Amino acid sequence: MRKQNRGFTVVEIVVSSAILAVVAGVGLAMVMTGQKVYASSSHQMHASTRAGGVMERMLGDIRSASIRAEDVNDNDVPEDLASEDLNGNGRIDDDWSLGDGETASEISFNMVGANGLYTDKITYRFDGEHLRRDLGSNPATVKTTVVSSDVTAVTFTRQGRRIIINVVIESGVVRKSDTEQDRGGRQVSLVREILLRN
């Protein structure tokens, strides 16, 4: 007696198709989840890198400004002040805009030149959209540079001889407009503390 080859029944085809669809769906879900995790991690890493660059620029200026300007001749003669006060503010001591215990979205200080004297005034300020760096004290000649457009918040806090800087940058979608959908961007916050030397 010969064995007859028979095909698949409709029930077998439907069941195997359902199993294949479930396996494919699970595989696709895993791939999509992996892509979302990768994209989120990548956005956060880039945001952290941008925040670090912004922070290092500010810290460099603040470190330089925290060296106390001193009387070059060390003789404390008041008449020497006019020749040693390069920025013309009538003093050679520090000129920080933040008092002890204050927090603000702006900080001003005088830059220290190679000779140890204060030269130009620097102001870092967050205007709600950009972190800006102003160089100079005369409004007519101030040079303004946009340090970052990615920043969503900046605070400066002074506690005695310490200045604490908090920079917040949005990862993913930087700014959400009416036409843009929120893609789940998270905020990356970078906090640094610097001890003033003066």
Is-contact 81 92, C-beta < 8 A? Answer: yes
| Cβ-contact 160, 98 below 8 angstroms | no
- Provide the pLDDT confidence category of residue 185 given band limits of 50, 70 and 90: low
CA dist 158 and 81 (Å) reads 28
Q: What percent of the chain has pLDDT over 90?
A: 19
- Mean pLDDT for 171-191 is 61
Domains of the chain: which residue ranges?
Answer: 10-195
Mean residue pLDDT of the chain comes to 76
Q: What is the pLDDT of residues 84-118, one digit of tens each?
A: 455 554 444 446 778 888 899 998 887 766 665 66
Cβ burial, residue 181 (10 Å; 0-12/13-18/19+): exposed
Question: Does residue 187 contact residue 170 with C-beta atoms inside 8 Å?
Answer: yes
> What's the average model confidence in pLDDT over 109-136?
80
**Tens of pLDDT along 6-57?**
778 889 899 999 999 999 999 999 999 988 888 777 777 877 888 888 888 8
